[in-house]
Amino acid sequence: MSACCSGRMLAAAAPAPCRRQQRSGAAAAAAAADVVAASRPRNPLLQAGSRRQRQCSSRRSVGTRVLALDAAFPFDREAQLRRQHSQQSRLKIGIVGFGTFGQFLARRMVQAGHEVIATSRSPYHDVAAAMGVKYFTDADDFCEEHPEVVILASSILSLESVLARLPVQRLKRSTLFVDVLSVKEFPKRLLLRELPPEVDILCTHPMFGPDSGKGAWTGLNMQYEQVRIAADPERQRRADAFLQFFEREGCNMVEMSCEEHDQLAASTQFITHTVGRMLGAMQLQATPIDTKGFQSLLSLVDNTANDSFDLYYGLFMYNQNATEQLDRLEKAFDEVKARLLQQLHDKVRQQIFYGDSNQPEPRLMLTDGSSGANGSSSSSSEAGGAAAAQPLASSAAAPPSAGAAAAAVEPAGSGNGHKPFKNFLTMSSTDSP
Ligand code: NAP
């Protein structure tokens, strides 16, 4: 706060005679109300500058020293409380596993005012330094820094070995361990089994990553389970402070058991990644006529393709519910495909047996892509036993011969220059009546 608006200075200056102070009590009260109202901004940090200006100028022009004193007091107090609170919630956080996600978290935590240190398998000194993180290749050195919170952000597949190599005995006994793995039951069991009973355990899953959370985190889901936090108020405060970081970023905090998380995540997150990877393998491309739906598919590919395959494999291997969901996905695809093909079979059979004057006249396509002239009567295929074109609609009474080994159906008029549905529908001798 600038000296000209310091409450203490103004209090000392207040008794000095001032011509403006001789105004009527009512006018002074009204002016006081104005200044006090103006001193209650919704966001004190954003408006502090303009308010300070307002107070200084009003003090000069209308002699409102007393009023400025009134206004300054709540401001001072607010700032004091804010400072006190941020000091209390400032944490020393150590990140183990400084890959994509570890860095993503670290960046935001530094921005939020936390002290962040990190260690990982690979040397990340430069990346870490650039974001204000102190980096240690040596895990002993890292632990001897005594971070209050240790975040485990290594791959799901490597967590067990990473934890086994971490010299936990060099940490403070009250350390809070937090995991951010995308599966939850596995780390919960592992941490309960491997960590000494003195340390606290908080299992979390921020349901977003560097792609989906590259902007604001407002409304993004953050699952957590306080697996083991000692009753000590200081430890409770620390766990709260850690969760508050996500809360302040705007996350939707969801307290949920790790087991329930895995059940739900298998049918949501794992399926999302699986479909994203399948579509990615198809190498879909944007076109000038994309629909909104297709654009969503492309962004799904974007959101999942950048994650490591280790992460995806971890979602499958370390979630007991994933196999069942994969089976369901496969079954659903088969059902949809069967329904499509079944309609096609029904239509062809309709034409074979009864003809259908409402439908475009189909014709047989040879599997080599050539076709018989539409509507023209073909030469007999039975004689030579070779596949031959034959108009189906006009041949209801004379269905294709058993010798027409492999044929595909294409609506009339689509033959020229258009790729035939080659081998799409294969008619074997068993299809013949
Ligand atoms: P990841 O491939 O799952 O993990 C990469 C990290 O694991 C790196 O720090 C890497 O260390 C470390 N690592 C891999 N194999 C290792 C081994 N054999 N020994 C020691 N360290 C090993 O990719 P990620 O996206 O960074 O994810 C990290 C964790 O965050 C995962 O548990 C994931 O489930 C979770 N998570 C990720 C997201 C996301 O959107 N990406 C979201 C929520 C939670 P080096 O880099 O030093 O080699």
Backbone angles phi, psi at 48, to 5 degrees: -60, -40
Per-residue tokens: 318: 């370390």
pLDDT band at 416 (very low <50, low <70, confident <90, very high): very low
Q: How far is the CA of 156 from the centre of ligand 1 (A)?
A: 7
Does residue 95 contact residue 102 with C-beta atoms inside 8 Å? yes
Q: How far apart are CA 210 and CA 220, in angstroms?
A: 12
User: Is the confidence at residue 360, as pLDDT, over 90?
Assistant: no
Burial of residue 231, with CB atoms counted within 10 A of its CB: 0-12 exposed, 13-18 middle, 19 or more buried: exposed
Q: Are strands 149-152 and 221-228 parallel, antiparallel or unpaired?
A: unpaired
CB 373 within 8 A of CB 330: no
Evaluate whether 325 touches 264 at the Cβ level (below 8 Å).
no
Q: What is the pLDDT of residues 248-286, one digit of tens each?
A: 999 999 999 999 999 999 999 999 999 999 999 999 999
Q: Whose CA is nearest to atom 42 of ligand 1?
A: 209
Q: Report percent pLDDT > 70 for the chain.
A: 63
**Residue found by looking up tokens 């299992």 in the block:** 203
Q: Which atom of ligand 1 is nearest to the CA of 101?
A: 26
Phi and psi, residue 222, nearest 5°: -135, 105
Least confident of 80-89, 102-111, 381-390: 381-390
Q: Strand, helix or coil at 220?
A: coil
Question: Which amino acids bring their CB within 6 angstroms of ligand 1?
Answer: 97-102, 120-122, 153-156, 158, 161-162, 180-182, 206, 209, 307-308, 310-311, 314
On average, the pLDDT of the chain sits at 76
Give the residue ranges of DSSP H helices in 168-308.
185-194, 233-248, 258-267, 269-281, 292-305
Short-list 97, 96, 95, 108, CA closest to 213: 108
Residue 99 Cα to ligand 1 midpoint, Å, equals 5
Q: Which atom of ligand 1 is nearest to the CA of 207?
A: 43
Please list the alpha-helical segments (H only) found in 90-166. 100-111, 125-130, 139-144, 159-165
Residues 324 and 330: their CA atoms lie apart, in Å, by 10
How far is ligand 1, taken at its centre, from the CA of residue 218, in Å?
Answer: 24
Instruction: Please say if the pLDDT value at position 87 is more than 60.
Output: yes
Give the separation between CA 312 and CA 124, rounded to whole angstroms. 24
In this structure, are residues 72 and 17 in contact, taking their beta carbons and an 8 Å threshold?
no
Pocket residue to mutate for ligand 1, from 101, 160, 186, most atoms within 8 A of Cβ: 101
**Mean pLDDT, to the nearest integer, of 6-20?**
35
Best CA proximity match to 154, nearest among 99, 83, 211: 99
How close is the Cα of 153 to the center of ligand 1, in Å? 6
**Cβ atoms of residues 111 and 167 within 8 Å:** no
Separation of alpha carbons 69 and 420, rounded Å: 86
Q: Atom 3 in ligand 1: which residue has the minimum CA distance?
A: 155
DSSP code, position 69: H
168: CB partners within 8 A, 6+ apart: 143, 175, 195, 196, 199
Q: How far is CA 224 from CA 189, 268, 396, in A?
A: 15, 17, 66
Instruction: Determine the atom of ligand 1 nearest the C-alpha atom of 120.
Output: 47
pLDDT at site 141: 98
Q: Give the pair of three-digit tokens for residue 142.
A: 């890292």
Q: How far apart are CA 222 and CA 252, in angstroms?
A: 6
Using CA positions, which residue lies closest to atom 1 of ligand 1?
Answer: 155
C-alpha Rg value of the chain to the nearest Å = 36
Give the position, in ligand 1's atom list, of the atom nearest the Cα of 153.
29
- Nearest alpha-carbon partner for 336 in 348, 347, 328: 328
Pocket test for ligand 1, best of 155, 261, 317 (most atoms within 8 A of CB): 155
Kindly tell me the burial class for residue 286, based on how many C-beta atoms sit within 10 Å of its own C-beta (0-12, 13-18, 19 or more).
exposed
Which ligand 1 atom sits nearest the alpha carbon of residue 213?
40
Rounded CA-CA distance 44/78 in Å is: 8
pLDDT of residue 343: 87
Ligand 1: centre distance to CA 315 (Å): 12
Top mutation candidate among 95, 96, 100 for ligand 1, by most atoms within 8 Å of CB: 100
pLDDT of res. 422 = 36
The predicted model scores a pTM of 0.68
Residue 14's pLDDT band, with cuts at 50, 70 and 90, is very low
- Which ligand 1 atom lies nearest to the CA of residue 97? 9
Q: From the CA of 90, how far away is ligand 1's center (Å)? A: 25
| Ligand 1 centroid – CA 180 distance (Å) | 10
User: Is 164 within 8 Å of 194 (Cβ atoms)?
Assistant: yes
Cα of 297 vs centre of ligand 1, distance in Å, is 25
The answer, yes or no, to whether residue 227 has pLDDT greater than 70, is: yes
